């Protein structure tokens, strides 16, 4: 990706949307799903992901569930009711931003 700074500001929205669609996920699973969905264009590092997850948890948007998998504890993240509301808010905010940017630079959307 030419400019990952644009994605950096959207990390919270990306995490919330994935959790809305997948119910619960663990950190590595989130990074791999993003890589898959973007065909390798976006790679979220652990250094960016885990602070974002911890912040969302502290804000009450995520619940954490520990499960033992292959003799290791794995942390699964799941949206709370407040997290569901925040996801809706963040997606509307992102859509508004995209519309504004398209109007400013007169681009036609390439995605559906």
Whether the Cβ atoms of residue 12 and residue 52 lie closer than 8 Å to each other = yes
Contact 86, 43 (CB under 8 A): no
25-83 pLDDT, tens digit per residue, is 999 999 999 999 999 888 898 899 999 999 999 999 999 999 998 999 999 999 999 99
pTM exceeds cut of 0.85: no
Are the C-beta atoms of residues 47 and 110 closer than 8 Å to each other?
A: no
Average pLDDT over residues 17-30: 95
Is-contact 83 9, C-beta < 8 A?
no
């Amino acid at each position: 990706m030419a400019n990952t700074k644009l994605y950096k500001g959207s990390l919270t929205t990306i995490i919330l949307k994935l959790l809305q669609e997948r119910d619960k996920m663990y950190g590595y699973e989130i990074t791999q799903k993003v890589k898959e969905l973007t065909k390798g264009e976006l790679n979220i590092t652990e250094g960016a992901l885990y602070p974002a997850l911890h912040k969302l948890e502290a804000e009450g948007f995520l619940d954490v569930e520990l499960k033992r998998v292959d003799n290791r504890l794995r942390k699964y993240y799941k949206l709370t009711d407040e997290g569901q509301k925040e996801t809706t808010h963040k997606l509307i905010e992102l859509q508004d931003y995209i519309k504004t940017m398209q109007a400013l630079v007169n681009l036609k959307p390439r995605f559906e």
